[in-house]
Amino acid sequence: MMNESGKWWQKSVVYQVYPKSFNDSNNDGVGDLNGITEKLSYIKELGADIIWLNPIYDSPHVDNGYDISNYRSIDASLGTMMDFDQLLKRSHDLGLKVILDLVVNHTSDQHPWFKESKKSKNSSYHDYYIWKNPVEGHEPNNWGSSFGGSSWEYVKSVGQYYLHLFAKQQPDLNWENPKVRQEVFDVMRFWLDKGIDGFRMDVISLISKKPDFPDGTIVQKKKFGDYYYGAANGPRVHDYLKEMNKEVLSHYDVVTVGETPHTNVEEAVKYVDRRRQELDMVFHFDHMHLDYGEYGKFSKNRFKLLDLKDVLSRWQTEMAKHHGWNSLYWSNHDQARAVSRFGNDGKYRVSSAKMLGTLLHMMQGTPYIYEGEEIGMTNVHDAKISDYNDLETLDIYNRFQNDYHLTEEETMKAIHMKSRDNARTPMQWDESKNAGFSKADKTWLKVNSNFRSINVARAKDNPDSVFYYYQKLIQIRHDYPIITTGQYRLIDANNPNVFSYERIGNDNTLLVICSFAEKKIQYKVPDDLKKLDHKVLISNGDQYEWDTSGDVVLQPYAAVVYLIQGKEML
């Protein structure tokens, strides 16, 4: 069990805001910083401690701000630096911390560094990016970009290819170049000196490439090779992060969370073992991969509960063992809506959203709530391809139709299940025009058509709403240190319907029971707990009293957390 004092971010809950889609203050159809400032009291009322903003910097928005053309200015569509300063000040006044997205694996091709870099091999910025000579007249290797096509783009005037793991408008920075690292560190200081409270670091596991740029294997019906073998957790990534920590992070009391694609828990602990002084947390993808299939992310598979238990439990146990700290999430701006993917967004929307919240928030780690999750917002089920904006979705649509010859219906089914735009539709505030997000005639992405029944105003009017349940989950996390410190233990590992675990403290234990079944089921409380004094801390339905033999009847998607007195620590 960890020390009860802990770091502030270990006791915190993060609320993720996707700025384009949160609240539009100037009614141009795009959310903005002043819109976020208007809604800070909402985030405060929910009880979150930290706000993470997706990128807000100058950007051509090929990938919605993950293509940055100036790291030190605010994108005009979102507001001004004064608006940001005000947002930060108001947040701090309310006791909310603010972390920003640091996107430094790549820049936009419109960044002045890249414009200089591609002028010639002799440019002093050439080596800011990864340029390679053609090999026998072709690309240097078979890597495919995340958003379709090769990850190499030839520039005739230079006579070389540059690397872009994402869109071709997102050239990869060359971290081998110490000047690049110093530039990044300067950018970080710029924002930290303004008083921000930390960073979420985009694809940080990809910044060090293997120097021989080995071909990747071709999987999942793709035309190109996988870049992960040559780019994920590369040979110098930990040197770079140690340097970043020593030069920048160690001088500020901030929190960092690295997004680490292709990183299993053994690799992850190298980033977050606190004795190594690199990052505080990482976002892993192991639970996101449970429903991948022959077309990767865009498959129609559902996850299996036993796999979910296995993955989440492994991360709980290993992080604790290796002095690390988990980040806990169901969804973000790249993923489908949690309740649609892991719960049931029809008949059991409310109970399954609450159940999922319970399962995650009672685990050890820092929970991340993605905007709208706290009111049970769902995927979009009726959009046409012309309604989508996301370049990943548009690429998949093309590939499914043209390369794999799937029908329109099959293609749209996969997109409705997994498109990133499911998470990016405007926040649903009330039942007025555009769900109260904007008064514009057209919003940048269409509002989900279910906004009249699912919105904040309705949730606030109903004491049994997902909103108030999330508020309570956060409150009990703040009130009961055992949720931060208790030792995790999975129980009933082979139960195919119920995910249950204990959090074991010095003089009490939490018992968390979450049913994924769509019917009533019976559950047996473990023998060593059933005779002890207990009280329900939170539940999404009944009080779930167990009888003398420890049997309790669970409603569909039941969630219940008991605080049990007296069990000794193992």
Catalytic residue numbers read 202, 259
Taking the least distance from each CB to ligand TEU, the nearer of 60 and 541 is 60
Q: Which is nearer to ligand TEU, 24 or 334 (CB)?
A: 334
> Shortest gap between Cβ of 493 and ligand TEU (angstroms)?
29
Distance CA(530)–CA(509), nearest Å, equals 12
- The first and second tokens of residue 461, run together, are 């009017």
Half-sphere exposure of 129 (CA within 13 A, CB side): 36
Residue 282, CB half-sphere, CA atoms under 13 Å: how many?
Answer: 30
Quote the CA–CA distance of 140 and 131 in Å, as a whole number. Answer: 10
For ligand TEU, the binding residue among 88, 180, 203, 510 (CB under 6 A) is 203
Which of 24, 58, 63, 153 binds ligand TEU (CB under 6 A)? It is 63
Among 58, 334, 371, 502, binds ligand TEU (CB under 6 A): 334
At closest approach, how far in Å is the CB of 553 from ligand TEU?
Answer: 39
Q: How far is the CB of 188 from ligand TEU (least distance, A)?
A: 17
Q: For the CB of residue 517, give the shortest distance to ligand TEU in the complex, in Å.
A: 29
Task: Say whether residue 146 binds ligand TEU (CB under 6 A).
Answer: yes
Q: What are phi and psi of 524, to 5 degrees?
A: -110, 120
The string over 475-509, giving b where at least 16 C-beta atoms fall within 10 Å of a residue's C-beta and e elsewhere, is ebbeebebbbbbbbebbbeebebbbbbbbbbeebb
Smallest separation, CB 201 to ligand TEU (Å)? 10
Q: Which of 22, 72, 39, 35 is nearest to 194 (CA)?
A: 72
Residue 297 as a binder of ligand TEU (CB under 6 A): the answer is yes
Taking residue 522's Cβ as centre, other Cβ atoms within 10 Å add up to 10
Long-range contacts of 287-294 (CB under 8 A, 24+ apart): 287/311, 287/312, 288/335, 291/341, 294/220, 294/221
Nearest distance from C-beta of residue 19 to ligand TEU, angstroms = 13
What span, in angstroms and rounded, lies between the C-alpha atoms of 247 and 165?
27
Residue of 19, 35, 79, 261 interacting with ligand TEU (CB under 6 A): 261
Does 388 help bind ligand TEU (rule: CB under 6 A)? no
Q: Which is nearer to ligand TEU, 396 or 563 (CB)?
A: 396
- CB of residue 137 vs ligand TEU: minimum separation in angstroms? 29
When the beta carbons of 201 and 474 are compared against ligand TEU, the nearer one is 201
- DSSP track, 403-462: IS---HHHHHHHHHHH-THHHHSPP---SSGGGGS--SSS-SSPPPTTTTTS-HHHHHH-
The helix (H) or strand (E) run that includes residue 244 is helix 237-247
Q: What share of the chain is helix, strand, coil (3-state, %, to 5)?
A: 35, 20, 50
Q: Of 47 and 426, which CB lies nearer to ligand TEU in the complex structure?
A: 426
Min dist. Cβ of residue 306 to ligand TEU (A) = 24
Half-sphere exposure (Cβ direction) of 207: Cα atoms closer than 13 Å: 30
> Residue 20 or 126: which CB sits closer to ligand TEU?
20
No. of helices (H) and no. of strands (E), the chain: 18, 20
Give the residue at shortest CB distance from ligand TEU.
66
Closest contact distance (angstroms) between CB of 451 and ligand TEU is: 24
In angstroms, the CA 76 to CA 67 distance is 15
* Beta-carbon count within 10 A of 272 CB: 23
**Shortest Å distance, C-beta 485 to ligand TEU:** 30
Q: Should residue 400 be labelled a site residue for ligand TEU when binding is judged by CB under 6 A?
A: no
Please provide the size of the chain in residues: 570
Residue 179: count of CB within 10 angstroms of its CB: 13
Binding residues for ligand TEU, total number by CB under 6 A? 14
- Dihedral angle sign, alpha carbons of residues 246, 248, 253, 256: negative
Contacts to ligand TEU from residues 156-175, by CB under 6 A: 166
Q: What is the DSSP string of 153-187?
A: EEETTTTEEEE-SS-TTSPBB-TTSHHHHHHHHHH
CB-based burial label for 168 (10 Å; 0-12, 13-18, 19+): middle
Q: 372 vs 505, which CB is nearer to ligand TEU?
A: 372
Residue 103 engages ligand TEU in binding (rule: CB under 6 A): yes
Confirm if 216 and 190 have CB atoms less than 8 A apart.
no
* Per CB under 6 A, 421 contacts ligand TEU: no
Residue 508 is a binding residue for ligand TEU (CB under 6 A): no
Backbone phi, psi, residue 159, to 5° = 75, 20
Among 52, 66, 113, 224, binds ligand TEU (CB under 6 A): 66
Q: Which is nearer to ligand TEU, 257 or 537 (CB)?
A: 257
Give 163 or 474: the residue with its C-beta nearer to ligand TEU: 163
Closer residue to ligand TEU, CB minimum distance, 423 or 512: 423
Pair 278, 241: CB distance under 8 Å: yes
Neighbour order of strands in the sheet with 281-283: 281-283, 255-259, 198-201, 97-102, 50-53, 14-17, 366-370, 327-328
Return residues touching ligand TEU (CB under 6 A): 63, 66, 103, 146, 166, 202-203, 259, 261, 297, 333-334, 392, 420
